[in-house]
Chains A and B, each alone.
Chain A
Amino acid sequence: MSEETHPCFKRATIDTPQAGGKKKVWKGLKQILQTDKMLPWPEEAVTYSSLNPPPSFFPAKKYSDISGLIAPYTDPTTKLHYHNAEEYSTVKQLPMDLTAGYLALRGASSIVG
């Protein structure tokens, strides 16, 4: 860091370049949790991962991807949920990127295909 951005109240900076001029890489939350998980924590310890909620025990309700209304139907080709015939005609005309976008929003974009 250059001199001008170094305020007077600072004694040091953690942004010192590492050996070999490499930039310091900060562990992401996932990595930190992964490391923590490997450790033999005592029974009573409260860790970030131990606070995770249980999975939902209710089946996910089906809502129309387009309008958000209750969706009794699913379009077999695009896999989009829809509310009624009118919505179905919209679904049919949606370009690929929009159908993919709707599926991704619902977390339903399949890895295959």
Chain B
Amino acid sequence: MNFIELKDLKLTPHVIQKYPPPKHAAVVIDNGSYESRVGWSTSDKPLFCFRNFIAKSRKERERILPTQIGNDIVNIEGIRHQLRTQFDKNVVTHFQAQEQIFDYIFGHLGVNTDSCVPHPVVLSECFANPNHSRQLMSELLFECYDVPSICYAFDSICSLRRNKVSKDVLIVSFGYHTVHVIPVLNHKVIHTKVRRLNVGGFNMINYIHRLMQLKYPVHLQALTLGKMEDLLKNHCQVSEDYMEDLKKWANADFYDQNIRKVQLPFAIQQPALTAEQKLEKRRELSKKLVEITTRKRHEKLKEDEEQYEIMTNIWNLLEVGDMRSFQQALKDNNLENKNELEKLMISVKTRADRSRIKLSQPPQPIEEKVTAPAAPIPPPGISIDDWVEEVKKKRSDIHEKKQFRYKRRQDLAKRRTAAAQERMRIISHLAKKEKGTDDFGMRDEDWDVYKVISRENDSDSEVENEKLIEFEDVLRHYDPNYEDPTIASGIGTAEYHQLHIGLETMRTPELLFQPSMMGSSEAGIGELIEFVLKMFTAEEQLRLANGVFITGGCGQFPGLKERLSTELLKMRPFQTPHKIYVARDPSLDAWYGLRDLGRRSNLKDFSFTKNDYYEKGAEYFKDHDMGNLYFKTPVVVEQDIRFEN
């Protein structure tokens, strides 16, 4: 049995870096929709990485709390609903959020210069980033932070440059919202033949989250997004042959061997006592009571005996004739005269005698008043086994009826259900009857419609509840396998608070290969790679197939490389080779590549300055072999005509 532990997302605040960095250092930011990775071009590794999140209270009056950004967010699971990101899919669209992220980045880099960030910026952007988005990004960086220059580059190409692959590469970049398939021939990106699959880590996390929620509706609170992300990151794998694995999982033994369990915290509940235990408890209690009374009797007897002895001594004084001592003794014991003494002596003696008799008898257990209820008697002319079967069936029938009514009640309570809408349809039909043609009530069946639309007749009937009790009584006596429903439900046991995670670990990453599983009509990765390859000549295809390069944070699933190999084997001509490379660090290589770009002495050949921005227009940017191509947004045709005139 494999128990796994799922951890919630915990953020630790970053320290503010020392400033200034070495001269001419550029700020290097891999601005991904999942995570932002930041450092100087002189840094050995990213100085800090953080989820691109800001947490902002929605309501005006809650605004007392400042907006929390990145890793400064405390209790991230508690405020999931407040989290905002600057991204829409893989494109930055919300620039107010991006501004706050930049504040966080430059602030944590320790920048303290006045009214400017005097460092070139190397920033990643997505493939075919819309001009509108890039323009606003440049505007933000130049106008608000007064940076000297900007260089935009692709994360996946930068990652490729960090790894030694051949000059012809087919990059498959697995991101948080998208997967890009990027053909590169002779180190040149073939921009027109790049394709993007709109499925990524984000979809997978939400998919597995919802799957688990639907599987365990009772543990809704425990299934946090952070835990599901941990599950996806550390326990999921890509299946090499999905159909084959499905067959394996359908086997009960395989299931038992491979199932992974998560134990949720729970409070141990005392199991309800069985009838026998109750009886035992009562017996113990009565035994204790008997002991107490015996002890009390012993004490009383001892007291009485002592008193009797004293009185005999006084009586002896009388017999001896010592009247003075006798009178004195009477007085000491609060007695009036000889008669009283005699009376008392007799009463004490009888009392002591009675106690002695009682004690000499064995303790009588308190009579068991509650006898077990008489076993129900089977009806004549039927064997007990048959009878039990019959009762069982009747019982499950009632349960089913109850279940059905419960479901109907729940459905009727909601508006958008078939049951509720059917009811509304009947009601409106009843009300619609035109004047004069109304013959409602002529037939007795007409009135049945009220039974259909009534909500009240759905309550469980008393008769049925009584029958149920009766049946359960019968089963308790005659069915050895009978389990009390209150015990059988298992609430409060460790098992009840366990999550079983089986096929889900393969089902979720399979979304990449079969987006139809989440209702998307797009081609899966295998199909998409084939589609991209088909756009090339046979010779180019062979070159590309021998340099398939996996990168991106979501490219780290175990089995992904093997699966891609299977897919390539399927699509490629018989007996043609293919080769798959995986980035050394699929998540961070993009940042390292960007940093290498920032270290280049000719960085300015890849960058554009604030002057360019003013002279060539806000959407202008320097295009180069590691980034997007510059296509000027076309001006609307009408204006062109006017210009020609």
Contacts and interface: CB of A to CB of B under 8 A. Distances in A.
A-B interaction: yes
Interface of A: 5, 7-15, 24, 26-30, 32-33, 35-36, 39-42, 44-48, 50-58, 60-61, 63, 66-70, 83, 93, 95-98, 101-102, 105-108, 113
A98 B214 contact: yes
B519 A39 contact: no
Nearest to A60: B516
Given A39-B634, A53-B522, A11 B144 contact: yes
Contacts of B225: none
A53 B531 contact: yes
11 contacts: A28-B88, A29-B93, A33-B130, A36-B131, A39-B636, A48-B129, A51-B128, A56-B516, A56-B524, A101-B210, A107-B518
A30 to B, nearest CB: 8
A105 B214 contact: yes
Task: State the 4 A-B residue pairs at the shortest beta-carbon distance, nearest first.
Answer: A107-B519, A60-B516, A29-B88, A51-B196
Contacts of A39: 633-634, 636
Contacts of A8: 112-115
Given A27-B93, A56-B527, A68-B507, A32 B130 contact: yes
Interface in B507-554: 507, 514-524, 527-528, 531
B129 A107 contact: no
A113 B217 contact: no
B641 to A, nearest CB: 12
Given A27-B132, A53-B196, A56-B523, 11 more contacts: A5-B103, A8-B115, A10-B144, A12-B143, A13-B99, A28-B93, A36-B131, A46-B631, A53-B198, A101-B210, A106-B519
A70 B145 contact: no
Interface stretch (B35-43, B161-169, B286-294, B411-419): B411-419
A96 B197 CA distance: 33
B557 interface: no
B637 interface: yes
Given A9-B112, A68-B507, A54 B634 contact: no
B519 A108 contact: yes
A50 to B, nearest CB: 7
Range, interface on chain B:
35 or more
A73 to B, nearest CB: 14
Interface centre among B88, B116, B143, B421, by most chain A C-beta atoms within 10 angstroms, is B88
A10 B115 contact: yes
Given A32-B93, A47-B128, A93-B403, A57 B523 contact: yes
Contact of A32 (B91, B211, B249, B531): B91
Nearest to B180: A51
A55 B528 CA distance: 9
B261 interface: no
Contact of A10 (B145, B243, B515): B145
Contacts of A30: 88
A81 B117 CA distance: 57
Interface centre among A12, A14, A45, A51, by most chain B C-beta atoms within 10 angstroms, is A51
B115 A9 contact: yes
Contacts of A102: 214
A55 B523 contact: yes
A87 B67 CA distance: 47
B132 A63 contact: no
Nearest to B88: A29
Contacts of A108: 519
A35 B107 CA distance: 35
Nearest to B182: A51
A15 B523 contact: no
Interface stretch (B72-80, B187-195, B576-584): B187-195
A5 B65 CA distance: 12
B387 interface: no
B96 interface: yes
Given A55-B523, A61-B514, A69-B246, A40 B531 contact: no
A47 B503 contact: no
B115 A11 contact: yes
A54 to B, nearest CB: 5
B279 to A, nearest CB: 37
Nearest to A47: B128
A48 B91 contact: yes
A76 to B, nearest CB: 13
Given A83-B250, A96-B417, A24 B96 contact: yes
B188 to A, nearest CB: 14
Nearest to A11: B115
